[in-house]
Amino acid sequence: MIKRYLYIGLGFVCVLFGYIGIVIPGIPTTPFLLLSIWFFSRSSKKIENWLINHRLFGQFISDWKNHRGIKIKSKIYAVALILFTFSLSIYFAFPFSIDIILFIFSIMLSIYIITRPVPPK
């Protein structure tokens, strides 16, 4: 019973971070939403269905859950945002040694997103 409420709480925290990630560059929305759906799937089918049918996040979550895929428009948006935010971080915020790590990570993350399949229409 405690585990169920803990998962529900963590799921809502992840949804909150997902919403924050929409408006604050550099905070990823996608991993938090996928993590929240994982928590809800183990604690509350009602809340899981709410998130799957959400007008903003629902289609994306369904595409990932059912097909492990990302729509082309979402891929373009995600990669552009990754490159933009990582470039800003590299240019303004960190020493050269961390810049190299951020650069490599941004390229690997972009490649991962690009190589995910496109879900059927």
- Average pLDDT for 102-115: 91
Three-class SS of the chain: CHHHHHHHHHHHHHHHHHHHHHHCCCCCCHHHHHHHHHHHHCCCHHHHHHHHCCCCCHHHHHHHHHHCCCCHHHHHHHHHHHHHHHHHHHHHCCCHHHHHHHHHHHHHHHHHHHHCCCCCC
Give the model's pLDDT for residue 16: 94
Give the model's pLDDT for residue 23: 79
Q: What is the pTM of this model?
A: 0.73
- Average pLDDT for 28-33: 83
59-105 pLDDT, tens digit per residue, is 888 888 888 888 898 889 888 888 888 888 888 888 888 889 889 98
